[in-house]
């Protein structure tokens, strides 16, 4: 197995669960983690972490009308007879678009010509679909305990702040609930990336990812990631280290404002975390609606 350059000092799970593993850090979700999750759901109140996406019309009714494109989702209403017998549509989903809350499958980001945990791209993508490291394992549904670490409870992080393990430690202290192996980590920095394109929004560091590896985080969701424009040096902490090396599925573009408000109101930062991506296998990611259930 060829090891990509300069990974010696980066955290990695390549090999930890075997050469064919497709679960990555979801392996941390034990029965105990799941039981901890449902124990945190007491009243049934549910908070969505998804940005609503209004589809752009693929073939608009007004021939010259325009709108933002490439869109995260496009829609075409189908003809079903005249008069119509049913209203149906086809959706075109551009999963990794910045306006779509989505989960990244492990094969999304290769390191050189390999994907987690060392499978050649030529073997991971066959026949026009992903055969290794795809969304397939997500089809079983993901449930575990989630913990919100709010890095800026009074507002938002400073522009360009680089989030470290110490930041996460301090937020954990404030949350009053220690992360345990298999928990999903939800982070709030107070910036909605789509509203700040091209600005120096906060970003995760490899140091923070190292903290996640040590705590055995199973899954990440948050408003902090590897913001464009991509930083010129070093690996992308979340995509090239957490996702590609640790095998940690990432939920990009999560909307955590309502969650933070609920945690504040209820005065607790843990909840049942449910990710029920559509059972579409072989994809590089899927739009999701992560739910925090209190």
Residues 14-43 that bind its own copies (CB under 8 A): 31, 33-38, 41-43
Q: Does 111 bind its own copies (CB under 8 A)?
A: no
Near its own copies by CB under 8 A, which window of 11-19, 65-73, 199-207, 212-220? Answer: 65-73
Site string for its own copies, 115-154 (x = CB under 8 A): x-----xx-xx-xxxx-----x--xxxxxx----------
Mention every residue, 6+ apart, whose C-beta is less than 8 A from residue 208.
163, 164, 165, 167, 168, 237
Measured CA to CA, the distance from residue 58 to residue 74 in angstroms comes to 6
Measured CA to CA, the distance from residue 13 to residue 118 in angstroms comes to 10
Q: Backbone dihedral region of 57: left (phi > 0), alpha (psi from -120 to 50 degrees) or beta? A: beta
* Min CB(235)–its own copies separation in Å: 12
Q: Which two tokens stand for residue 108?
A: 């999304």
Near its own copies by CB under 8 A, which window of 78-86, 159-167, 199-207, 208-216? Answer: 78-86
Near its own copies by CB under 8 A, which window of 15-23, 60-68, 148-156, 165-173? Answer: 60-68
Residues 79-98 that bind its own copies (CB under 8 A): 79-98
Residue from 68, 155, 232, 267 binding its own copies (CB under 8 A): 68
Count the residues of the shown chain that bind its own copies, applying the rule CB under 8 A.
110
* Min CB(236)–its own copies separation in Å: 10
Site string for its own copies, 172-211 (x = CB under 8 A): ----------------------x--x--------------
Q: Which two tokens stand for residue 21?
A: 């593993």
Measured CA to CA, the distance from residue 235 to residue 209 in angstroms comes to 11
Inter-residue contact 247 to 24 (CB < 8 Å):
yes
* Min CB(130)–its own copies separation in Å: 7
For residue 48, list its beta bridge partners. 291
Tell me whether residue 18 or residue 43 sits nearer to its own copies (CB atom).
43
Q: Does 267 bind its own copies (CB under 8 A)?
A: no
The number of angstroms, rounded, from the C-alpha of 211 to the middle of its chain's C-alpha atoms is: 17
Measured CA to CA, the distance from residue 1 to residue 243 in angstroms comes to 19
Q: Does 44 bind its own copies (CB under 8 A)?
A: yes
Tell me whether residue 16 or residue 258 sits nearer to its own copies (CB atom).
258
Kindly tell me the sign of the dihedral angle through the C-alpha atoms of 125, 126, 132, 134: positive
Q: Does 256 bind its own copies (CB under 8 A)?
A: no
Measured CA to CA, the distance from residue 4 to residue 62 in angstroms comes to 51
């Amino acid at each position: 197995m060829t090891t990509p350059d300069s990974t010696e000092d980066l955290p990695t799970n390549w090999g930890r669960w075997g050469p064919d593993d497709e679960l990555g850090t979801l392996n941390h979700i034990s029965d105990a983690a799941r039981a901890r999750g449902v124990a945190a759901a007491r009243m049934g109140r549910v908070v969505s972490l998804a940005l609503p996406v209004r589809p752009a019309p693929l073939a608009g009714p007004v021939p010259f009308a325009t709108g933002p494109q490439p869109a995260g989702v496009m829609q075409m209403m189908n003809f079903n007879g005249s008069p119509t017998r049913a209203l149906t549509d086809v959706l075109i989903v551009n999963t990794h678009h910045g306006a779509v809350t989505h989960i990244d499958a492990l094969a999304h980001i290769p390191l050189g010509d390999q994907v987690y945990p060392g499978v050649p791209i030529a073997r991971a993508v066959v026949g026009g679909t992903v055969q290794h490291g795809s969304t397939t394992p997500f089809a079983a549904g993901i449930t575990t305990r989630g913990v919100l670490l709010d890095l800026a409870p009074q507002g938002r992080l400073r522009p360009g702040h680089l989030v470290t393990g110490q930041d996460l430690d301090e937020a954990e202290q404030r949350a009053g609930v220690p992360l345990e192996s298999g928990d999903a980590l939800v982070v709030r920095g107070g910036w909605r990336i789509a509203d700040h394109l091209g600005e120096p929004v906060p970003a995760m560091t490899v140091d923070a990812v190292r903290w996640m590896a040590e705590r055995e985080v199973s899954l990440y969701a948050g408003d902090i990631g590897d913001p464009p424009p991509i930083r010129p040096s070093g690996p992308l902490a979340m995509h090239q280290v957490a996702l590609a090396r640790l095998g940690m599925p990432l939920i990009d573009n999560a909307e955590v404002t309502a969650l933070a408000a609920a945690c504040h109101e209820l005065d607790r930062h843990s909840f049942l975390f449910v990710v029920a991506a559509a059972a579409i296998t072989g994809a590089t990611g899927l739009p999701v609606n992560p739910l925090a259930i209190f």
